[in-house]
Chains A and B, each alone.
Chain A
Amino acid sequence: MTGRSTEELAQQLVGDLSPLKPIARLRVAASTVVALWIAAVGATSWMTGTWPRVGDTAFWSDPIRVAVLLGLGVAAAGALVAALAGAVPGREPLARAGWICAGSAAIGLVGCGLWAVAGRGGEPVGGSFAASASCLAHALALAIPGALAASFFLSRGAPQHRLVASGIAAAGAASLGAVVVHATCSVGGGFHLLLGHCLTPVFAGLLLALPLAGLVRNWTRPAFES
């Protein structure tokens, strides 16, 4: 701080005041992200003709697949809540709950992936990498609209750590994408399940945190500079 008094600073802040719209409610922000995800899934499914295997009994009778689907869903919800609530002062308890959900789901997903590798291993790892990269790319593509919306809401909020908030938002959006990819994909190898499905939120968080943080920074309203 410079040598100015607190009362002088208050006067400067009053002079800098301009009207603004309050941030959207959390449920509106979360619903927007989910709506964009549904739109992206609908559009790609309509274009490719590949729809999630919702009615496939073989899918629902495989406990690992069901557990991974559940884990991705919980990871998505937890990560998005952690990111969006973390950007609103006073909503820290909700953000903490989101972090706990997302963290537990991530651990569970890694556990499921390892369970799949142990139970189904033996697939050629090279082929598994190619298929996994394709599933990861598909999940990331489906995540983009939701991630952009989440970044917009973050830019209107006050995240404590922009990079961390962007990373967790990316992980949440990518988990939503991975839910659809997982429900569509017919590759059953253990390594593929681990790399291409279970670890998608982690890869997305690492890959997209920086670009999304840049967007959040650019979209943030110019603010008072001390």
Chain B
Amino acid sequence: MGDERETRWRSWMVATQTGETPAYEKLLAELIPYLRRFVGRRLLSAAAVEDVVQNILISIHRARGTYRAERNFTPWLHAIARNAIIDQTRRRARQSRREISLEADGVAEPSSDAVEPQSARLSPELEGALSALPDSQRQAVELIHLHGYSIAEAAARVGATTAALKVRAHRGYRAMRAHIEALRLEENGG
């Protein structure tokens, strides 16, 4: 079974290098579910799995010239997949270091099991700060910190890149903090 698959993938990959699109189409169609399982065993979040599978497909496309017919295809594929998983893990670690905690900004952390909008649980002060945000920033803050979505999941929901979503959320936190600080200053001054 494995040998048959290896032979099939290898012949499709060789045909791909000569520019045969039907072979490439068949190869990718078989690789997608295989990679979903391969990555799924190593990553927890379903959205992250899909992100990594897409990155692997792009890497395969870019590195397709590095495959040589006399070598096995699966180790080549696994090496690309492992590198993509490592990249994703590093990216996640960097993101979590960069993300500004709402708690540090004087805003309550969302509960991890939250799945429904929970604006009702917010204090009037926070609700006011949240509603003062532009739509795109409010949506980013709500998805990540009120609904509990990961950045990748939230980005997929709004159809934005993860980088764009992070920027929106970051600007949102800053604006909320400024809003709350201004309110407190007013109260103290008054």
Measured CB to CB, the closest approach of chain A to B94, in angstroms, equals 16
A1 lies within 8 A of chain B by Cβ: yes
Q: Within 8 Å CB of A10, what residues of B? A: 25, 28-29, 32, 57
Given contacts A2-B160, A9-B58, A158-B63, whether A17 and B79 have CB atoms under 8 Å apart is no
Given contacts A22-B67, A25-B68, A158-B66, whether A1 and B156 have CB atoms under 8 Å apart is yes
A124 lies within 8 A of chain B by Cβ: no
A56 lies within 8 A of chain B by Cβ: no
Measured CB to CB, the closest approach of chain B to A36, in angstroms, equals 22
A19 lies within 8 A of chain B by Cβ: yes
Closest chain A residue to B68, Cβ basis: A22
| A156 and B62 alpha carbons, distance in the complex (Å) | 10
A58 lies within 8 A of chain B by Cβ: no
Given contacts A158-B59, A158-B63, A224-B62, whether A14 and B25 have CB atoms under 8 Å apart is yes
Q: Please report whether the interface of chain B is mostly helix, strand, loop or mixed according to DSSP.
A: helix
A-B pair number, CB within 8 angstroms = 106
Interface residues of B (CB under 8 A from A): 16-19, 21, 24-25, 28-29, 32, 50-51, 53-55, 57-59, 61-69, 71-72, 75-80, 83, 152, 155-162
Interface residues of A (CB under 8 A from B): 1-3, 6-7, 9-10, 13-23, 25, 87-92, 156-158, 160, 221, 223-224, 226
Q: Within 8 Å CB of A88, what residues of B? A: 66
| A89 and B53 alpha carbons, distance in the complex (Å) | 16
Given contacts A14-B25, A19-B17, whether A1 and B161 have CB atoms under 8 Å apart is yes
